[in-house]
Structure 1
Amino acid sequence: MSTHSLQQSAETEPATGRPATVPTQAGPAGDAPTGHMVVFGDDALAHRLAVELATLYGQRVTVVLPSLRRGHGPHIAALAADEGVSVTAVEAEQPDEATLRAVGVGEAAALALTSDDDQANIQAGLRARRINPGLRLVLRVYNRRLGGRIEQLLDRAAATHHPGLSPAALQASTTVLSASATAAPALVAAAVAGRGHVVHVDGRLLRLSVVSPAAPARGQEVATLAVTPGGAHPEPEGALLPDPESVAQESERVVLELLGRTQPPARTRRLPGLSALPFSTLFSPRLRWALTGLAALVIVFAALTWALTGQSPTRAAWLTTLDVLGIADPADEAGPGRKVLQILTSVSGMLLMPLLIALALEALGAFRTVSALRRPPRGLSGHIVLVGLGRVGSRVLERLWELEVPVVCVEAEPTALGIARARSYGVPVVLGDATQEGVLEAAKVHRASALMTLTSDDGTNLEAALYGRECNPELRVVLRLFDDDFAGDIYQALRDSYPRAATRSRSVSFLAAPSFASAMMGRQVIGALAVGRQVVLVAAVQVSGNPYLSGRTVAEAQRPGHWRVLAVDLVDPPERTPDLANPYLATPELLWTPVETRMLVDGDLVVVAATREGLGLLLRPDTTTP
């Protein structure tokens, strides 16, 4: 395929006389293909997205990036050079209006902006909407609140230019996604033992779990995703979505369970930093013992005063308090016992002032520590060590905190994005390079249950993971790696070297790309479930015009190894909810596990579990016959 660049040439505007910058094509001339897909970005997500669109959906793709020699430019250039896919690489410094027009956004079907700069993506999206009001826009925006408002703004612009758009088409006109937020649930599920990955569908929960042969599923089982061979840390073997009739009854299975409507657990939100500041952290054990001893001594003196004077207990406690505080009330007319007791009480009261000063100073130091960064507690164990507090690490930290999982963060850069979030959550942070000796030890990795290495550097992630395994051979490790072949080799080597420990290698772009590609195709991927090192997608698919679904029964529509029909939408098309992933839908719409003899007709909407290849085949626009 072709690779060319957009050069800048200066011309003069006749009306103003000012120089205008107009992009000109310096490679092979040719108009941009009508209905093609445009991707702006030079990161891992842009590369994965181009691969997904070209290979799985058979789309013609134009990737626009600043340089083919920096970042992931060489990977994209290699993809463009592959004659088996229709990918064109274009070099351009920024997605200004002239560049957008030059690469054919005016005639394109969809545009994805995958830069990690939210403002640049939003600005380019606004320009693209002006150029092509009917364009499907997919924006990568980290700030979710800002992204939601921008999505509404762009949807209003699309509705203004196309008032006849249906609600479903309007919903697909603009999609704002965050790669880190999309991948975070799968990363957390890989690290936290006993917590399956959960996705929201139709206001209910679909959970990924492992079911042993003797135990039934805890929820309603809707599909078998894979079969595991057993062992200490079983991994799925063979193809995903096997034929149910071919699954042996004695096999351990990875299944999808349908659960009820659950509300997020209520959390008591206290002041930032105080949520993790108990009394035991505020005062040291020695000061607590000293305060307890002084209180016990005062109680003993009050009891002795009551016994010697014969006065009421309240009066005796009052006199003892005066003696402790040194308030003049000498026992001139009392007996020797009372006088000796008063002297002893006054002497013990002399200990009160230093103790109060020590308590105040230690509390001040504890508060200052919390306002900065907490250190890992001395007896901490069973926690998760999270290395890297960038965009991905910050999202993962947020989800771990919501699940109330103890975590210690390690970050080399004090100004990293997630540092402020860790401080507000009261999460301990170790500042330092995780590959340096002593840093992971300070995070108590030898007593941790799992290690997650989520920096943007593969070498750092691998080195930290290997160092963590040396400290704790049975440590569960989740690695973030970009290169699939490299990740596969490392995964297998770690499995062979540490057979009793669980190892997971995950790529954020690999987990996020299906959602971006589906949005560009005008479809809805509800969730991506990591099964071993593979991914199963839960997606909503229109039956109309699809030769694999339309006019077929549910049994005939199934394709083992590719997709399985999970549910059918019962609502009329004009009244359907545009977003089945909304966790707070008031009225359920889906019929789960429909009978195999049910006929699928045009107008139906089905929810399927599919492999990446299966969903690409199911949604290919050029599909004519099964």
Structure 2
Amino acid sequence: MVIGATTLARRVCAAVTENGRPVQHLAAPDDQDLRRALAARPAGVAVLVGDDLSALRYALAVRHVCDTVRIVATVFDRTVARQLQSLLLRCVTVSPADLLAPSLAGPCVERGVLAVWDDGQGPVAVRRTDGGLVETAWRRSPAARRRAVFGRLRGQLQPHDADARLLLIGLLGIAAVLALDWLWLVSAFHKPASTAFLEAARVVAGVGPAAPHDGHPGYEVMSGVAMLVTVGFTALLTAGIVDRLLGARLVGVLGRRVLPRAGHVIVVGLGQVGLRLCQTLRQVGVPVIGVEREPAAPNLRLARSMRIPVVLAHGEDREVLARLGLGRADALAAVGSEELDNIAVAVAAHGVAPEVRVVLRAGEDEAIAETRALLPLGLTRDIIRTSAAYVTAHLTGPPPRRVIADADCDYVDLPGRGLVGWPVPARDDCDHVDTAGTPGPAAPGADGLAPLPRP
């Protein structure tokens, strides 16, 4: 039994039907609908709805009616997923974002890599060979690691946003005045280091030298100029601090949250998929930059807690991509929820850096049913097809460990068999529920009867 009117639900229904299993598909059943449908004791129930709360409610209702049926539910939030699995026996939660993140990260980190992830003991990559797919340990090449290190160092001294530039200019200016004054006192006047530091600090603070220096008009003039210049640097420093205290602070000035300038991956779209992709890349040691156009996006807080630098801008803006160092980046991933926007980002990326690797998320837009048409723009990964393969494998056989997405097919990791090519269904939609979410023509269910439509 399949519950939900989403694109994923319709594809799973079509795949299971093509597999030769009878399916009962309910778009948005109420409690009575569930009781009537579960009376036939289906072999499995797939709860494939659009939000976590609805998935939680349906899973609890199914388990209340039937305490033995196997449940597969799509849940994005990891906390909800863990709680649901702990509460219900024989319930598996599936997050399309978690499923697809390794397959999106693979092409981003290196050509020829289908997927990459950290298994707790180090990065693991899946590559295609003449004998099939091979899972091996992965590590960035020495040249890529050097580029990433230099890119991080360059990012420490080349802030992206205005408030960080003001803060850094003010801080470096005050430090330069302090160092110059201290060096003059130690080298020309042979002052002890501690005394020289005190006098230099007084100059920077604007209270003048600690003691008069008769016969040294050059130093006195320099001290006066230094005090006047420090007033300007202090104003810049104060403005930068105020802006950072009042702003979102999505990009750091120093440390891990500065924008890398080379050897990085630019991820456009910080939804569930984009955030999981950034996290996967960081776990395998690849620096990332997130780009999000919505200042109130819910995942910005999570990105900040994960120390992922995020720029609030439109990813299809060529000036933004150039400012983020696309020409020195390893790849760009356009993984927003709107696939037409992802195409616009890919076109802009090719206009800025034609040689850069571009990875696109697709599969949810009805206008782009054939993802191979997007091949000239970059490597495309169909999130719905890959998720449907994983859910279908759960419903029709032993539970798979993971799924690897490729351009034209998916590979499901089955116990005892390894990565097995999963056939793509001939149809990507079912007859039970139309694209508007309403029941279609009556079709036989698991009990041989047509499911009851909602009144």
Provide the TM-score with structure 2 as the length reference. 0.73
> How far did residue 186 of structure 1 move?
0.6
SS of aligned partner of 1:523: coil
2:356 is aligned to: 475
* Partner deviation per Cα, 1:584-609 (whole Å, 9 max, x = no partner): xxxxxxxxxxxxxxxxxxxxxx2433
Contact 2:169 2:233 in 1 (8 A): no
Alignment of 1:126-525 (within 5 A): 126-155=60-89, 173-193=90-110, 197-198=115-116, 207-209=125-127, 226-227=129-130, 255-259=133-137, 281=159, 282=164, 283-285=167-169, 288-289=172-173, 291-306=175-190, 326=207, 336-337=214-215, 340=217, 343-344=220-221, 346-348=223-225, 350-351=227-228, 352-369=230-247, 371=249, 380-424=261-305, 425-432=307-314, 434-435=315-316, 438=319, 440-441=321-322, 443-482=324-363, 486-491=370-375, 494=376, 503-521=378-396, 523-525=398-400
Q: 1:436 to 1:95 in 2, by over 3 A?
A: farther
Give the counterpart letter for 1:478 in structure 2. Answer: V
More displaced stretch, 127-136 vs 507-516: 507-516
Task: Name stretches of at least 5 consecutive residues in structure 1 with no aligned partner.
Answer: 1-37, 66-93, 156-172, 211-225, 228-241, 243-253, 261-275, 496-502, 541-605, 615-626
Pair member with larger Rg: 1
Among candidates 32, 56, 72, match of residue 122 of structure 1: 56
Inter-CA distance 350–150: structure 2 relative to 1 (3 Å threshold) = same
Distance, in Å, in 2 between the alignment partners of 1:360 and 1:480 is 42
2-side partners of 1:138 and 1:145: how far apart? 16
Map 1:51-62; keep pairs closer than 5 Å.
Answer: 51-56=14-19, 58-62=20-24
Q: What SS does the aligned partner of 1:610 have?
A: strand
The residue aligned with 1:528 is 403
Counterpart amino acid of residue 21 in structure 2? Q
Higher helix share: 2
Kindly tell me: are residues 439 and 51 of structure 1, through their superposed partners in 2, closer, same or farther at Cα, counting changes over 3 Å?
Answer: farther
SS in 1 for 2:189: helix
Change (3 A) 1:403 1:370: farther
AA at the equivalent of 1:63 = H
Q: Is the 8 A contact 1:539 1:609 kept in 2?
A: yes
SS, match of residue 350 in structure 1: helix
Question: 3-state DSSP class of the match of 2:296?
Answer: coil
Give the conservation status (yes or no) of the 8 Å contact 1:407–1:428: no
| Bigger strand fraction | 1
Q: CA offset at residue 134 of structure 1?
A: 1.1
Q: What is the deviation of 1:62?
A: 1.7
* Cα separation, 2, equivalents of 1:106 and 1:355: 76
The answer on whether the counterparts of 1:400 and 1:407 sit within 8 Å (CA) in structure 2 is: yes
| 8 Å Cα contact 1:374/1:423 also seen in 2 | no
Q: For the Cα contact (< 8 Å) 2:410–2:423, is it kept in 1?
A: no
Unmatched segments (≥5 aa) in structure 2: 139-153, 425-455
CA RMSD of aligned residues (A): 3.8
- Verify the 8 A CA contact 1:409 1:443 in the aligned structure 2: no
By how many angstroms is 1:180 displaced?
1.2
Q: Displacement, 1:612?
A: 1.1
Percentage identity across paired residues of the two chains: 21
- Contact 2:72-2:91 at 8 Å conserved across structures: yes
Report Cα offsets for 1:262-281 as digits up to 9, x if no partner: xxxxxxxxxxxxxx995764
C-alpha distance in structure 1 between counterparts of 2:119 and 2:287, whole Å: 28
Which whole-Å deviations, capped at 9, do the CAs of 1:310-368 have from their partners, x for residues lacking one? Answer: x766556656666776478655xx8x436x47744652563344433432333333454
Describe the SS at the equivalent of 2:413: strand
The 3-state SS of whatever aligns with 1:396 is helix
Q: Tell me if the contact between 1:430 and 1:442 (Cα under 8 Å) persists in the aligned partners.
A: no
- Contact 1:207–1:257 (8 Å) recurs in 2: yes
SS in 2 for 1:394: helix
Partner of 2:419: 609
Correspondent of 2:7 among 37, 40, 44: 44
